[in-house]
Amino acid sequence: MDRKSEGEAGMKTIIEATELNRWYGIVMGLNNVSFKIESGLTGLVGPNGAGKSTLIQIITGQLKPSSGKLTVFGESPWNNPALTRRVGYCPEGEAVPQDLRPLDWLKGLGLISGISPSEVVPRAEAMLDKVGLRREHWPKRMGEYSKGMKQRIKLAQGLLHQPELIVLDEPMNGLDPMGRQEVANMLKQLVHDGVSIIISSHILAELESLCSSILVLNWGRVLASGNQKEIRGDIKNWSEELSIRCNAPEVLARHLFDAGMLQGFDLDPEESILHIRVKNAELFYASWLGLLLGSGVIVYSIQSESRSLRNIFDKVTT
């Protein structure tokens, strides 16, 4: 069965962690973490220090677990070249060899990865084209590259040996909106081709639109996992949060408060925005049109914060 048909056939577990712990001296990186990641595109979400990079480095065989077990495609990743052949990695940060040209670097990495000398140059060139690094930049040394260009070349080296799983640590950093869209499209295409992707990012809106499932990490623990619907379903009794831009936010706040709908509110007089937390979302949405009309204020826009991934992330990490 080829990758594509495997992808179409359904999800399968590619990574499994059981009571995984990782310590740095007395500092805890991962704390008794157990989870499964299935094929497809999975987002790793969490603030700095949450344990995302530690987890990524264990998955890619750069770190060993202090205790517990993590397997990728059923194998331990540490010092396992057979497994590494199936995994691609794009690290966080801007670090690339400053004095090398991208094609030289990719050629070297390609040869190390077992690509034949005759195949390595066309493959490297194809990858540079694929990540959108324009040919006029190829003769430059990578030290002269912008942040966005470095991201693209890092992506290219991760894709070079055509892995089955690609682990991307903050790959969108430094890319302009068009570049982000290009990379997002490329990732979607890879997933369509049967490649699994794990992506960590602080740009949550992008993960929301990209990822089939999410793993939320904080303080070295997995706080929630699954698809976005499941995560929302897991967390009961969330209050609904809305931002309403109108001509008289104070009047509207008083009106809603008198109606017994509000758990709390914040005013932003400069922007004429009222941020509200409603007690009972179901009841509120049943009567909200009447309530707004009854207040007599002119409403310009209403935005639900609770429906975004950002809100889910904030909820589970605070």
Partner 1 sequence: MFTWKSQLTLKKLPISLLSILGLPVLMILTTQSPESWALSHRPKMGSASGYMNGISKRLKPAGLSLEPELRAQIIAIAFEEYQATEKSWQTPDGREMDPAIMEASIQATHARIRDRVKPLLDEKVFAEFVEFQKPKFNQQPITLENGLWTRTSPFYRLLVDLYLFLVLPMSCVRTCGAVIRDELENDTLGFLTTRPIRRATQLVVKFLAHTTWLQIWMLLQVGLLFLVGYIRHIPDLQQLIPVFLGVQVLAVCSWCALGLFLGMVSKKYMPLALLYGGLIEMGIGSIPTNINTLSMMRQMKALLGHNVELENFFNWPDISTGVPVLVLILAVPLFVTLAAFLFTFREYHHANEVQR
DSSP assignment of 124-185 equals HHHHHHHTT--GGGTTS-GGG--HHHHHHHHHHHHHTT--SEEEEESTTTT--HHHHHHHHH
125-144 positions binding partner 1, by CB under 8 A: 141
Give the pairing type, strands 165-169 and 196-200. Answer: parallel
User: Judged by CB, which is closer to partner 1: 200, or 295?
Assistant: 200
Q: Which is nearer to partner 1, 217 or 274 (CB)?
A: 217
Count, residues in the chain = 318
Is residue 192 a contact point for partner 1 (CB under 8 A)?
no
- According to the binding rule CB under 8 A, does residue 64 interact with partner 1? yes
Structure tokens that stand for 207 in this block:
């993960």
Is residue 178 near partner 1 by the rule CB under 8 A? no
Neighbouring C-alpha atoms within 13 Å toward the C-beta of 293: 4
* Residue 104 or 314 with smaller CB distance to partner 1: 104
Buried b (16+ CB within 10 A) or exposed e, 167-194: bbbbbbbbbeeebbebbbeebeebbeeb
Torsion sign across C-alpha atoms 179, 183, 184, 186:
positive
Q: Select the span of 112-120, 122-130, 196-204, 226-234 touching partner 1 (CB under 8 A).
A: 112-120
Contact pattern from residue 14 through residue 53 relative to partner 1, giving x for each residue in contact according to CB under 8 A and a dash for the rest: ----------x-----------------------------
Q: Which of 9, 112, 126, 283 binds partner 1 (CB under 8 A)?
A: 112
Cα 226 to chain centroid distance, Å, stands at 13
| C-alpha distance across the termini of the chain, in Å | 44
CB under 8 Å to 59, separation ≥6 — which residues? Answer: 15, 70, 72, 77, 87, 167, 198
Nearer to partner 1, 101 or 307 (CB): 101
CB closer to partner 1 out of 5 and 118 = 118
Place of tokens 């009841």: 283
Indicate the residue among 105 and 284 with the shorter CB distance to partner 1. Answer: 105
Residues within window 72-101 making contact with partner 1, judged by CB under 8 A: 79, 81-82, 84-85, 87-89, 91, 93, 95-101
Q: Which of 42, 113, 218, 306 binds partner 1 (CB under 8 A)?
A: 113
Q: What is the size of the binding site for partner 1 (CB under 8 A)?
A: 35
Residue 200 lies near partner 1 (rule: CB under 8 A): no
The 3 state secondary structure assigned to 73-101 is CCECCCCCHHHHCCEEEECCCCCCCCCCC
Measured from the CB atom, is 78 or 288 closer to partner 1? 78
Q: Which residues bind partner 1 (CB under 8 A)?
A: 24, 57, 60-64, 79, 81-82, 84-85, 87-89, 91, 93, 95-101, 104-105, 108-109, 111-114, 141, 157, 161
